[in-house]
Structure 1
Amino acid sequence: MEPAWLWLWLLGAGILASAHGDKSPGLPQAPRGRLSEPAPAYRQVTPTITSFALRVYKQLAAETPGNILFSPVSIASTLALLSLGAQADTSTQILQGLGFNLTETPQASIHCGFQSLIHALDLPSPKLELKVGHSLFLDKQLKPRQRFLDDIRELYGALAFSVNLTDSATAWRQMNDYVRKQTYGQVVDCLQEFSEDTPMVLLNYIFFKAKWKHPFQRYQTQKQESFFVNERTSLHVPMMHQKEMHRFLYDQERACTVLQIEYSGNALALLILPDPGQMQQVEAALQPETLRTWSQLLVPSVLDLHLPRFAISGAYNLEEILPHIGLSNIFNLGADLLGAPGRLNGTIFRVSHKAAMDISERGTKAGAASGLLSQPRPLNVTWAPHARFNRPFLVLVWEVTTQSLLLLGKVANPAAG
């Protein structure tokens, strides 16, 4: 029998520079320390990352008809790292574009928050593998300030490499090989090829591998069940099946079913299944407050669950998306980016992001306004409500301790990966 694993591999926010210039989200609360212990610094950034993620998702949904998949932690941390090396006004615009109120949370606190988050996510766990990394590839002609290199290493764990970017084909292979090794061979050919006048590449990657707390049994998987892509199109996909205890609810106001599935490690997935024809309504309702409400109202019960086995991916040039959510100035302002004078006096021209996810039987979020919920019935050994994910649905993957959103996507076609 194959190992009981979920595979999720993400490559986040490869940023290329051109010489041409609320409270926490809706999740189970992390364990609290003693009253005398200060709150972890990552709590200053994770709610903002969630809000930023929902804005990015809505923009992608407006422009992308099919599957969507990206890593909010990956994109947000890479942009925050980038702000360290920008001029003061550009740095402010990047952090405000991410959604931070710099009057309430000073820049130094934001960077310490990301430092705390990355450290917490990188802590070893016997039940799941989670690896976050940043790497900066600079052309050999660039001489970045040592202070900047020290800051990105201390705060973001980022390593800087000097490469010959004028030989773009060789450099492209070197960077792809680097990411492939860091993700244990799961992310290959992550970068699009770039031109010889690219003086800098900033990469972020996330690798995540975890087991379901309650794995599906492969013998119960139906090899050919219908998945309705839309009213006119259906396809046949493998459909996993189990009767198991999960937390879920039906949100009558937003017309969707919300299901939380736990991993055996300190992570969980939130699956949101809109009623037929209600995807846009549910997407429009995605707000941090909605997630909080759902988490408070989820009820544990035995559920007759049907979930497709799927592999999806997403690849985006975010410079086309970010200006619509307040991050336009990082593309049109000349700045002494990354403290590296000379060829880097230009503007960012590409922000690329790639993610891939594979959910199977062994491995790998919630519902509604008060008073308008149809909650599941109590535990009953002879009856269990159905949740059949046989039409497009949303998926969110969380790390529970930090309450950080690792992954956000839409499964519009489970066979398109």
Structure 2
Amino acid sequence: MGPAWPWLLGAGVLASVCCQPFPARGDKSPGVPQHPSHQLTELAPAYHKVAPTVTSFALRLYKQLAARTPGNILFSPVSVSSTLALLALGFHGDTQTEILQGLGFNLTETPSADIHRGFQSLLHTLDLPSPKLELKVGNSLFLDKQLKPQQRFLDSIKELYGALAFSANFTDSATAGRQISEFVGKQTYGRVTDSFQELGHDTLLVLLNYIFFKAKWKHPFDRYQTGKQTSFSADDGTSLRVPMMQQRAMHRFLYDQQVACTVLQIEYSGNALLLLVLPDPGKMRQAEAALQLETLRRWGQRFQPSLLDLHLPRFSVSGTYYLEELLPLLGLTSIFDLGANFSGITGQLNRTISQVLHKAVVDMNEKGTEVGAASGLLSQPPALNTTSAPHAHFSRPFLLLLWEVTTQSLLFLGKVVNPVAG
């Protein structure tokens, strides 16, 4: 049996969201965003074959993280899933099948070729220039200079995932790590740095995905209204003093009685939405357990606009994860075995992946962001002619889901437990 091949996989090393206050009068569909009617065609875009599966995979991965992570959580579902799908191109046989099935795809209903074309369509659409928001997605492959990659593999990852390959000298692991970190920092405008400072001397390949998102709120918060010393109740019972943004405006929201949470939709000036889920005190686990695709769709169909008194903390959170401990729990085990057939990349067998790294960062401020059962009971917001507006005070831990509307894809998913933890 050949030697192990440590592979450091930067699964969606991403610089995240620059967030602005939510929009007051949203005309975009909430929850799992509905595809705009004027963009519907008789032949649906290929990304529709992968976007719902990406979301389902994200919710499964989130629950594994939540069971092991006591603090803030943040990751990019698009980043992690597209990196793993790209990786599948380098394997043959059962390992390739396992990766795609681990992501949640039914290969009988959606052949592997359609999956890769779906990701090609998704990444291409997300990377289209937009005058109202910055969204940059990319893939890169760093190979040790001693390797001789298969040209077919290089052609496939370039065509389907826009990935370019670079030669690196991993014998000098410190220099190689610094060079890759500088590359990531440049691609994410400095939001993700020092990602690969601990490359092992026996690392031979780094597969990297990055995503950068920056957008302004459709209706920014007034920074002069931000309270400087507002109490935020953390999960451990401690009380934190955080800057709390305030706004009284029209929003789409609902209260889900069954899940015991308030759900709020905030719009960006571009084609993106932020979904915030505020569980009732002590109900975070119940809300997390209810995170399913059908729940999101149900919320999306039931939102109603209403005048809302909103208090939302200005926050900066990040997440760094070594997913090799979690992915086997989701069915991806063979890629970490010595017997994995890796010949699709270099023609060499008996290599293995030793590490899967993902890093995400999100900043949300007054300007914007730089980065249950199907029959649940939903109460409607009060009528607009009430004398006082209902309120949503995000003064305790909450969930966030950031969507790109055109592709209906989940760019970021996370939980804010400590808004000032960084």
| Structure 2: 5+ residue stretches without partners | 1-8, 14-28
Structure 2 Cα separation of the partners of residues 34 and 284 of structure 1 = 34
Mapping for residues 18-33 of structure 1, pairs under 5 Å: 26-32=31-37
Any residues of structure 2 matched to 1:194-273 within 5 Å, and which? 194-230=199-235, 232-273=237-278
Mapped contact 2:53–2:103 kept (Cα < 8 A): yes
Q: Distance in 2 between matches of 1:285 and 1:192?
A: 38
Query: Alignment length, in residue pairs?
Result: 397
- Do the aligned residues in 2 keep the contact of 1:297 with 1:368 (CA within 8 Å)? no
Post-superposition offset of 1:35:
7.4
Code of the aligned partner of 2:193 = V
Cα displacement string for residues 167-225 of structure 1 (whole angstroms, at most 9, x for unaligned residues): 11111111011111111222211224111111100000000000001110001000000
Instruction: Give the CA deviation at 1:26.
Output: 3.8
Q: Which residue of 2 aligns with 1:130?
A: 135
Aligned counterpart, 1:415: 420
Residue in 1 that maps onto 2:148: 143
C-alpha deviation, 1:25, in angstroms = 9.7
What does residue 106 of structure 2 align with? 101
1:13 aligned partner: 11
Cα distance in structure 1, aligned partners of 2:304 and 2:39: 28
Which whole-Å CA distance do the structure 1 matches of 2:268 and 2:387 have between them?
26
Listed one character per residue, the Cα deviations across residues 323-364 of structure 1 (whole Å, up to 9, x for unaligned) are 111111221252342634477731111000000000000102
Match for residue 171 of structure 1? 176
Aligned-residue offset at 1:88:
1.8
Q: Choose the corresponding residue for 2:90, options 85, 89, 93.
A: 85
2:53 maps to: 48
Q: Distance in 2 between matches of 1:180 and 1:173?
A: 10
CA deviation map 1:139-184 (0-9, x unaligned):
0111111110000000000010011111111111110111111112
- Counterpart pick for 2:64 among 59, 67, 78: 59
1:113: which partner in 2?
Answer: 118
> Residues 30-65 of structure 1: CA distance to partner in whole angstroms, max 9, x if unpaired?
124587631000000000000000000000000000
Confirm whether residue 182 of structure 1 aligns to residue 187 of structure 2: yes
Deviation at 1:232, TM superposition (A): 2.6
When normalised by structure 2's length, the TM-score is: 0.90
Distance 1:363 1:14, change over 3 A: closer
Contact in 1 for aligned 2:139/2:161 (Cα 8 Å): yes
Calculate the aligned-residue CA RMSD, in Å. Answer: 2.0
Contact 1:199 1:343 in 2 (8 A): no
Distance 1:200 1:404, change over 3 A: same
Q: After the TM superposition, which segments of 4 or more aligned residues of structure 1 sit over 3 Å from their partners?
A: 32-37, 340-345, 367-371
Q: Secondary structure of the residue that 2:354 maps to in structure 1?
A: strand
Q: Could you say what secondary structure the match of 1:161 adopts?
A: strand
Q: Distance in 2 between matches of 1:334 and 1:265?
A: 46
- In 1: Cα distance, 2:69 partner to 2:62 partner: 10
2:22 alignment partner in structure 1: none
What letter matches 1:13 in structure 2?
Answer: A
Match of 2:249, as an amino acid?
E
SS in 2 for 1:144: coil
State the alpha-carbon separation in 1 of the partners of residues 72 and 169 from structure 2: 36
Q: Which residue of 2 aligns with 1:373?
A: 378
Name the SS for the 2:54 alignment partner: helix
Question: How far 1:121 sits from its partner (Å)?
Answer: 0.1
Q: Which residue of 1 aligns with 2:281?
A: 276
Could you say which residue in structure 1 is the equivalent of 2:25? none
Identity percentage over the alignment? 72
